[in-house]
Structure 1
Amino acid sequence: MRATSSWASTPDLSRGRLHEEQSGTVRGPRDAFQRDRDRIIHSISFRRLRHKTQVFMAPDGDHFRVRLTHSLEVAQIGRTVARALGLNEDLTEALCLAHDIGHPPFGHAGEDALEAALAGRGGFDHNGHTLRTLTELDRPYPSWNGLNLTWETLEGLAKHNGPIAAPEWALAAADAQFPLELDRWPSLEAQVAALADDIAYDNHDIDDGLRAGLLSLDQLMQVPMIAEGWRRVEAKFPGVPARRLIGELIRSQIGEMVNDLIASTQARLAESGVETPADVRAAGRCLVTFSEAMREAERGLKRFMYANLYHHPNQMAAAEAAHGVVAGLFAAYAADPAQMPAEWREALPAEEPWRGRHIADFIAGMTDRYAIARYQEVVGPIALPEGF
């Protein structure tokens, strides 16, 4: 659906792509942002998300979320909000689908291991690696590296969480190649994608935590917004067993947060006086926001989730094992690059920091299960926590 507001991003006014493309290569009647979305969906890096950690590492249950399903859920929420605000849905969807492409195996545990491995070489940041993957490492086209996405998509991925004063090396390299105005706020579509991500994982991680038995309903009642939502659900469906109401709780809470975000953003846009995408970038502040009450409630939920799920002893044990896998792989490949696949071994730079960064590029692209298999191959057996 085309955007209906003056402050929406417009594909016809895109700042273009780094590499000029001949019009005769366009396949199908799609605009620039639709093509970006489709390039992301068809990319190898997007497909690999189906075997990368969301919350539970290398989950042995079919019903837990992974990076791929999370990204799809973010995209659904993002499109809903974008439509209500009259924004460009295709750009919003592209940003939502691609926002986690730079995550290494095992989520934040893998990221911490690569950050440590690249100490003194610039470190590792999954957001910067998203840009590196989409502008350099994915190579489906014969004439250039990367997917050659539009400026608006790259800008939104670089700074969907806000301006960046000190970009790390991967993001700085992407910015040097195609300047992204990192010191300014991004489009409204990018701001929507950021909060759609929060809404998705705030709620779906509850669902997965309950499914895994690491959270209980009694624990969740400590969170005021959840307790209030649970009372509404029980009143609406009296006598229905609790296990049948969990899905309704999650759905209703997502709805509450989406409706609050839309109403609060509409009011903020009205008082801001912005009329164009350029006005949005010059506003000097985030314009897509929750109300103050919802913001505080959401922060309380996050604090609960960190204390009771993300830092649960089972999760910490899994994170420690995952950190060991990634760190062990990096050490093994650094000591003996001959163990890397031929295409990666043959392209290995001779000098640091690029030599270490190249090894990290290879590891960051791995799925959880591929990383475990390669560890067992080049390092040796590893004892993984139950359910890993």
Structure 2
Amino acid sequence: MSVAACASRPDDSRGRRFDEVGRVVRGPRDDFQRDRDRIIHSIAFRRLRHKTQVFVAPDGDHYRVRLTHSIEVAQIGRGIARALGLNEDLTEALCLAHDIGHPPFGHAGEDALKVAMAEHGGFDHNGHTLRTLAELECPYPQFDGLNLTWETLEGLAKHNGPIARPGWALAGIDRDFPLDLASHASLEAQIAAVADDIAYDNHDIDDGLRAGLLDLDQLMEQPFVAANFRAVEQRFPGAPRDRLLRELVRDQIGVMVNDVIAATKANVAAAGVASVADVRAAGRTLGGFSGALATDERELKRFMYANLYHHPEQLAAAEAAQKVVGDLFAAYGRDPRLMGDDWSARLPGEECATIRHIGDYIAGMTDRFAIDRYAEIFGRQAVPDALAHV
């Protein structure tokens, strides 16, 4: 069974929520290409250049941020989609947009928003991605949101699998434009999800080494990494260590990509699916790692959490970031006028809606904008030391 038979096709799209009759057609693009371009041209996408990937408000120009990470995910995802005969444009759109809902300071900022909004539905970055693209980003005169196709919104909602209990943000989108949350997403969405794993598993190693929070001896404790590094050393004996490490990252990406291509082909053949509808009804994820590499990848993630993401320096920066977000939320709750005329003028009257409005405002901030607003309200001397360099 060919994987290409299961590809999403723009001509078969379930369409957009709002009719766009009368709009000027700009170039010979299909619907998925148009979605990708709308994402790239959005303000929310541009803000990713100043949002945390691994290092909170990184003090260095060479570390990855959400924008560079998203571009790297798109490159990996598009390559896999091409090899499998899937729709490259839909895959790329999903990869580029998958992190748009992240607040400032990455997961630390998300944790702070969850606490601040706990009594009003909480906060979830994936739900906020949908909310941003479908409601908050409003460049068009006739409707709110970017009016993306059903397939793009569905893929963003379900790229990690079916959703039994959506949070309030996603539930609101689904109520207005049902996304069949109980089923699996397209293969393009499944490939976007694994491309994200491949990118951050390997590029976070690169950034961790650059920052001095990881070292080669630690990495060699991971059999998957050790085997790949030995192969690199054999191919390039005597090469400088820093170049060997960068070759290691490239090699591991290649190993993972090739594994996903082979495993996905095997899964599609074994499941007997012959269309994108069959993929959604398959009852399991078909696009991803083989069993053996999935085990290696889970172990690598455990290593990265223990040695990089939960490194004492990282935890100190995360604690500082949570304080900034929490204090900002409290300040805006006391005096919404601090958000500025535009946001305060649109303040809803009802308490829950007001809390969510404040959450929308903070979630859209970049790291440096959040720190500047904090300094503006509390004084520059109050900015936590771990963030004071920004």
Output the TM-score relative to the length of structure 2.
0.97
Supply the distance in 1 between the matched residues of 2:28 and 2:320 (Cα, whole angstroms). 48
Please state if 1:74 is matched with 2:66: no
The alpha carbon displacement at 1:385 in A equals 1.7
Supply the distance in 2 between the matched residues of 1:169 and 1:314 (Cα, whole angstroms). 34
State the match for 2:251 in structure 1: 252
Q: Which amino acid aligns with 1:35?
A: R
Supply the distance in 1 between the matched residues of 2:340 and 2:130 (Cα, whole angstroms). 23
The alpha carbon displacement at 1:248 in A equals 0.3
1:228-265 residue CA offsets vs partner (Å, 9 max, x unmatched): 01100000000112112111000000000000010011
Q: Which amino acid aligns with 2:37?
A: D
Supply the distance in 1 between the matched residues of 2:297 and 2:29 (Cα, whole angstroms). 37
State the match for 2:370 in structure 1: 371
Supply the distance in 2 between the matched residues of 1:155 and 1:70 (Cα, whole angstroms). 22
1:97-151 residue CA offsets vs partner (Å, 9 max, x unmatched): 0000000000000000000000110000000000000011000001111000000
Supply the distance in 2 between the matched residues of 1:5 and 1:382 (Cα, whole angstroms). 53
State the match for 2:260 in structure 1: 261
State the match for 2:311 in structure 1: 312
State the match for 2:384 in structure 1: 383
Equivalent position SS for 2:287: coil
Write the mapping of 1:1-388 to structure 2, written as runs, cut at 5 A: 5-22=4-21, 24-380=23-379, 381-385=382-386
Equivalenced residue count is: 386
Q: Which amino acid aligns with 1:385?
A: A
The alpha carbon displacement at 1:383 in A equals 2.5
Supply the distance in 2 between the matched residues of 1:59 and 1:377 (Cα, whole angstroms). 21
Q: Which amino acid aligns with 2:45?
A: F
Supply the distance in 1 between the matched residues of 2:288 and 2:358 (Cα, whole angstroms). 39
1:253-304 residue CA offsets vs partner (Å, 9 max, x unmatched): 0000000010011011111111111111111110012111100000110000
2:3 and 2:265 in contact (8 A); partners too: no
1:210 and 1:216 in contact (8 A); partners too: yes
Q: Which amino acid aligns with 2:227?
A: E
The alpha carbon displacement at 1:379 in A equals 2.5
Equivalent position SS for 1:5: helix
Supply the distance in 1 between the matched residues of 2:349 and 2:19 (Cα, whole angstroms). 32
CA separation of 1:162 and 1:346: change in aligned 2, threshold 3 A: same
Supply the distance in 1 between the matched residues of 2:217 and 2:152 (Cα, whole angstroms). 42
Identity of aligned residues (%): 69
Structure 1 window deviating more from structure 2 (248-257 vs 336-345): it is 336-345
Q: Which amino acid aligns with 1:281?
A: R
The alpha carbon displacement at 1:364 in A equals 0.2
The alpha carbon displacement at 1:23 in A equals 5.8
Equivalent position SS for 1:54: coil
CA separation of 1:260 and 1:354: change in aligned 2, threshold 3 A: same
1:51-110 residue CA offsets vs partner (Å, 9 max, x unmatched): 000000111200000000000000000001001111000000000000000000000000
Q: Which amino acid aligns with 1:379?
A: F
Equivalent position SS for 1:22: coil
Supply the distance in 2 between the matched residues of 1:70 and 1:83 (Cα, whole angstroms). 20
The alpha carbon displacement at 1:384 in A equals 2.2
2:113 and 2:122 in contact (8 A); partners too: yes
The alpha carbon displacement at 1:350 in A equals 1.3
Structure 1 vs Structure 2 CA RMSD: 1.2
1:20-48 residue CA offsets vs partner (Å, 9 max, x unmatched): 11265221100000000000000000000
1:77 and 1:196 in contact (8 A); partners too: yes
1:74 and 1:196 in contact (8 A); partners too: yes
The alpha carbon displacement at 1:382 in A equals 1.5
Q: Which amino acid aligns with 2:333?
A: A
1:332 and 1:379 in contact (8 A); partners too: no
Supply the distance in 2 between the matched residues of 1:238 and 1:128 (Cα, whole angstroms). 48
Q: Which amino acid aligns with 2:9?
A: T
1:299-355 residue CA offsets vs partner (Å, 9 max, x unmatched): 110000000000000000000000000001000000011111111000011112100
Supply the distance in 1 between the matched residues of 2:384 and 2:326 (Cα, whole angstroms). 15
Supply the distance in 1 between the matched residues of 2:200 and 2:327 (Cα, whole angstroms). 29
Runs of 5+ consecutive residues of structure 1 not aligned to the other structure: none
Q: Which amino acid aligns with 2:282?
A: A
Supply the distance in 1 between the matched residues of 2:121 and 2:270 (Cα, whole angstroms). 41
